[in-house]
Each structure stands twice: as C-alpha cells, then as structure tokens.
Structure 1
C-alpha cells in the first residue's frame, strides 16, 4: 500500500490487536490510514473484525495492543465523548422522551455550546436532512427513514471531524435504503467530513465509498477504490466476496510475465492473468465475472473458448442470469442485458462461449468449499 502523506491522514491505526479472551484475536495487527475527507467503508462478513475496529475508534472498545491516533493525538486514554466523533447506529439510539430538536440539542449542550448558538445549529442541521418541519415531534411519531435522518443530523450537528456509521441503513426497506445511501453520499460530498462506514452489504459499499477495506478473519485483505476491488481483486476471498464471481479450480501449468496457463480437472486449459499464484503444479482458483463472458458468435475472438449447456434462465428485469454447465461446473453464471439476449436460446442448448485473458484472474486456491 502506498504511504499516505502524514498531513492527509486523519486516523491512523498502528499495530492494533483486539482479543476478548486473551487467546483469539478478533483483530490482528491492523495498520490503516484514513484520509481527511474520505468516505471509507469497512466491509466483511460477520465476525471479520470490522465492527470491533469501528468500536475501538469510537472508544467503546479498548485495543489489546497498538495505538489509534486521531489528528495526530493518541486516543488510547481519551473517553468516547471527548473524541470529537459523531456516531450513527442501526437502531438510531434517539431519546424517545425528547423532541427532534431536543435530541439534536443534546450533544451541543453536553459540549457546553452557548444557548443562543444551539438553536441556530439545530435549525441548520434539520434543514440539512430536510426535516425543518419536524422539530417539535417525538421520535415515536416519525417513520424509520425520518428517524434515521434525525440520527444523522445529530451526529453532524456539533461539526465533528469524523463520523462513524455502523450498519445505519440495516433496518430500512430496499428502496428507502438505496435513497438514503445517496443522501448520505451527497451530504458527505457537501460537508467534506470524514466518514467511516461499516456494512456487510457489498452493493452499499461499492455505491457509497471512496475506498473500501475488505476484512476477513481480523485482517484487511485489500483496500482500494470500489472499481479496483471489483475489477482487480488481489485474492480469492475478495474476488468471491465482492460481486458475483465464477470460480474454476485447477493447477498452474506455466507462468510467463503477467500471464499464466492453468489446467482444469478435465484437462481443458485456460490462459489467465497471473495475480496471486505459486509455482507449476500448485493449485489455483480462477475468477471470471459473469458479465465478462461472451456467448455464441460474440465469443469467436476470445482466447479462452469452450462450450456450455444452458441449465436455467433467471429473469431480473433489466438483465438475465443464465446458469450453464461449463467445464464440468454446473453453476457457471453468465449475465446478459435483456437487449442482448438471444430470444431463441433455450434450456438444454449447447452453445460456444468464451472470455478474454485479461478478464480471468488466477488467484490463490480457496481452502474451504463455500
């Protein structure tokens, strides 16, 4: 990872470890620089260490080893309310007996902001999330989306330099969730505040973030811009966790520069980009995105060309997923926009298909079958 200039770093995790029982490390040797003004998402499955890392930054958990710095000062002995950090949780954590305006005023009065400034700041924060007319209402009188907006305004009202969000949209339905993703993203762009966001939803992470850190078993597997993570995963875990992915397993035959040849179990060979491979004879997993596969005549120019049997069509409105049997693998998926689908294609058809060398990545063998 390229070193970020110190002046651009807002948060620095140095050699952070966390264990609850003194034996198992939930977070192992975490080194991470969070840049000023960026939207960084910590993404990973349950138990990968992403929420624990966020809670250590917030001050609700203490690192077992290592140091966290915010704007150059160590946070190790700073209590949560003195860290100048806004927090948004999934359950909103609003005070039910206080009006919306009182909920927003609370973090200001705790910070001893003068009374005449409080009203002005609350008004500004409510306008920011389009809730000006709701100041006198109680949380119980609001919808889930409105409550989430109040929680967001409350995290921003005291103008912190850093806002942490832990699965903040988890309780909302799909449409509202997608709408709120855009709202939070636009707020971030407008305010320039640094946001650290935790989710297990990869679509959300790709949509909202400047960078995404993929966690697995307490370690960051890769940290990159969303498009880089998706198109250029560095290992098999990231390839499988981000987006949909066809995985073929084989062994390395030869390796020349950035290209390699991999033999599949039934003897077919695939030419691939060598990203994370050992020596000849070593096991390899190949990763190919479903949208990068060409069918029928479109596959003629492809370096890797095979035939596949159509097993099933899965209709998704704007595109269709075609499940095929390819190279002995019964669940090989191809994604096609509806406009490009051949209407004569039917279940049971055997058709040519292919993909270019630059769209298949040779990665480490996956140890566990998923």
Structure 2
C-alpha cells in the first residue's frame, strides 16, 4: 500500500491516509478503508451528505479522533501518536471558536505565544495576518463587537498566523447568509492561491465544493466514491450516487440491451431506446440508470440532430432570473428537467405543449441503478 501515490509524484504528497478505518461501536465503520493522498499546495474538499465520513476523516487528520485501523502520515511522518497541538495544522470551524475575553490581536497572538515566539515577531506576524484578511483597523476589538463575517475572517487569520503547512476547515461558512458566504468563498480561494498553503475543506454544499476546489473527494457511506477536479466530477460522474449528488441530474431507469465497448443501448420501461456511454453497467438484461444533465437537453429545432430524440409534455416553468428550468413529462416520468438561458426561451411555449427534445450520446451516462435510487 505504501507505494501507492497519486500522479502528483511522491515528493508532492503532503498527507497520506493508508487503510484508515474508524468505528465508534466496534461494529459499524464510519470510515471504511480510506486511501487518499493530498498534494502539497492543493485545495481539496471532502464533500458528502451527513454521516458520510467526511468530518470524521478531517478530525482524524486534526488529531481530535483516533483511527481504529490504518495510518495517517503528514510530510512523511506518522501522525498516529502525535497530539493535535504538535501537528503543525491550522483549524477553522463553523462556530469561529474565538476567545471572547481576548481582542482580535490577542486571539491571533495566542497560537504564536504558545509556540514560544518573541513579542516583536508576534506583533509583526499579527499585523501581517490582519492585513491578509483586511482587518488592519480592528485588532483592538473583541469578537462580540464584530459581525459574523468579520469573526470568520479572524478565525481564518488565526489558523494561518503561525504559517502551518496544512489548514483544515470544517464547514467554516455554514453560519453565514448566502451573499456573505459566496463572498467568503472567493476570499478563501484567493487567500489559498496567494499563500500556497495546503487546504482540506469539509462541506455538504456541492456548489461550494465546485467553486473553491482543485479537487473534490465525494464521500458516501464511509467511502470515497470519486475524487477528481470539479469539471470532471460534474461532467463525468463515475456512478449513480455522484451523478445525483453533484449538480442537477435527470435519471431515467431502464435495462441494458446491448453494449459495444464504451457505448451501449438502454431500453426504457415503455420501449424507448437510448444510446449512451457505458460508464458503470452490468451484463445485458440487468437494470441501469441513465444520467442526463438538464442543460444538455435540447428542445424543438435544436433537438433535430440529436441521436436520442423523444417527445416531452411541458408541465411547469420555473424562472430563476438568468435561466429557466422547464419540467417535462418524458418516457412516463414527470420529473424530467431541461435548463435554458432566458434569452433562448421560446416565448410561445406553454404548459401542456408536446415538444421534441433530444440529447447527444456523450451526454447520457449509463450508471448503476442502486445508487441512483438512493
């Protein structure tokens, strides 16, 4: 196992999980068999629903949880018996965890003073950290005198002030409103780009993961289902769970009729046939699910050159400002969506219209049916 590293090359791997398991009751595994390499300088997000094992994996790396089995290495040394405060890891939590009785500057100085740094060096580092998060004027304030966004900035600065080689963030923006959350996403992303520090970020928000990350590891039931850059994850999901969890996704259920290498034909319940990419399929005759992204579905004249063509009955329009989602009844299912920019919408289209729709073979992915129904 130790010889397995990712394509970044052994010299660039900062953290490696090898055969890591975690159980709280000795029976069920929260983390099943985690083998993961985290590259130096990357922004890696652990993404998944509640209970998927992502936070437990982060807490084992931080040292707040102990693996039941396996080993975690940081910069080549085993962390299994290293206490949290000796791991050279910065942490940012959702609840900020600032000391209320200390000023902002004192909060930032704390991790430096416990490391035995001199007063002049501490003052210089604190000043730099405040400038980094654009809070130079607020060093004398107490946390209670600041907004949630400002407090989260202080928490971020405190995690970075001692220049750790690794920063862990556990749902750090969960308590912020949408607009501030989106603003902070970009702030953290730009800070990461400027500093080059390695970040491991936990969230259940797939939009946040796609926006911020170099790579995303999708967790489900204690295992990584897929790890890839955001575009690959969205465009090329490896199984039904990833397809359903990342972005919007139409699912059609059918059976595998034939397979020829990377392509296959799937038969739907009412006899329709769909040509698709065979991504994760069993044998001919076995059930599969089809994944088609709503923005890849073509309507009316735009569907004419599509090899997969159907008719759909318009059931509902959902306006979302810059684009519109159209819900259709297709192949006996009433929850099939297509997404169009408002500028391309046919103004004469109304509920009840039966229209031709279609999609290209490469935009239909034949996947496992089990995960698709979860």
TM over 0.5: yes
What is the aligned partner in structure 2 of residue 257 from structure 1? 261
**Is 1:282 matched with 2:286?**
yes
Residue 367 of structure 1 deviates from its aligned partner by: 5.3
SS at match of 2:67: coil
Residue 2 of structure 1 deviates from its aligned partner by: 4.6
**Is 1:341 matched with 2:350?**
no
Matches of 1:44 and 1:367, distance apart in 2: 14
Matches of 1:227 and 1:195, distance apart in 2: 19
Given that 2:241 and 2:371 are in contact with CA atoms closer than 8 Å, whether structure 1 keeps it comes out as no
**Is 1:100 matched with 2:100?**
no
Matches of 1:268 and 1:305, distance apart in 2: 10
Matches of 2:137 and 2:336, distance apart in 1: 52
Q: How does 1:263-278 map to 2 (within 5 A)?
A: 263-278=267-282
What is the aligned partner in structure 2 of residue 296 from structure 1? 300
SS at match of 2:370: coil
Matches of 1:113 and 1:170, distance apart in 2: 33
**Is 1:317 matched with 2:333?**
no
What is the aligned partner in structure 1 of residue 66 from structure 2? 62
Matches of 2:183 and 2:8, distance apart in 1: 32
Residue 261 of structure 1 deviates from its aligned partner by: 0.2
Residue 3 of structure 1 deviates from its aligned partner by: 4.3
SS at match of 1:229: helix
Residue 179 of structure 1 deviates from its aligned partner by: 0.3
TM-score, L = length of structure 1: 0.99
SS at match of 1:204: helix
What is the aligned partner in structure 2 of residue 162 from structure 1? 166
Q: Deviations over 1:171-214 (max 9, x none)?
A: 00000000000000000000000000000000000000000000
Q: How does 1:28-177 map to 2 (within 5 A)?
A: 28-177=32-181
Given that 2:251 and 2:372 are in contact with CA atoms closer than 8 Å, whether structure 1 keeps it comes out as no
In structure 2, stretches of 5+ residues that fail to align are: none
Matches of 1:71 and 1:121, distance apart in 2: 24
Residue 366 of structure 1 deviates from its aligned partner by: 2.4
Residue 4 of structure 1 deviates from its aligned partner by: 3.7
Matches of 1:366 and 1:186, distance apart in 2: 39
Matches of 1:42 and 1:12, distance apart in 2: 14
TM-score, L = length of structure 2: 0.98
Deviates more, 1:360-369 or 1:317-326: 360-369
Matches of 2:6 and 2:279, distance apart in 1: 18
Given that 1:4 and 1:33 are in contact with CA atoms closer than 8 Å, whether structure 2 keeps it comes out as no
Q: Which runs of 4+ in 1 moved over 3 A?
A: 1-4, 367-370
Q: How does 1:144-223 map to 2 (within 5 A)?
A: 144-223=148-227
Q: How does 1:219-234 map to 2 (within 5 A)?
A: 219-234=223-238
- Equivalent pairs, count: 370
Matches of 1:51 and 1:361, distance apart in 2: 30
SS at match of 1:154: helix
Matches of 1:63 and 1:10, distance apart in 2: 19
SS at match of 1:301: coil
Q: Deviations over 1:205-235 (max 9, x none)?
A: 0000000000000000000000000000000
Deviates more, 1:314-323 or 1:2-11: 2-11
Q: 1:368 to 1:188 in 2, by over 3 A?
A: closer
Residue 368 of structure 1 deviates from its aligned partner by: 7.0
Q: Deviations over 1:309-333 (max 9, x none)?
A: 0000000000000000000010100
Residue 30 of structure 1 deviates from its aligned partner by: 0.1
SS at match of 1:366: helix
Matches of 1:317 and 1:56, distance apart in 2: 43
Residue 5 of structure 1 deviates from its aligned partner by: 1.4
Matches of 1:366 and 1:131, distance apart in 2: 50
Q: Deviations over 1:4-36 (max 9, x none)?
A: 411000000000000000000000010000000
What is the root-mean-square deviation of aligned Cα atoms in Å? 0.9
Q: Deviations over 1:22-67 (max 9, x none)?
A: 0000000100000000000000000000000000000000000000
Matches of 2:6 and 2:96, distance apart in 1: 36
Residue 287 of structure 1 deviates from its aligned partner by: 0.1
What is the aligned partner in structure 1 of residue 367 from structure 2? 363
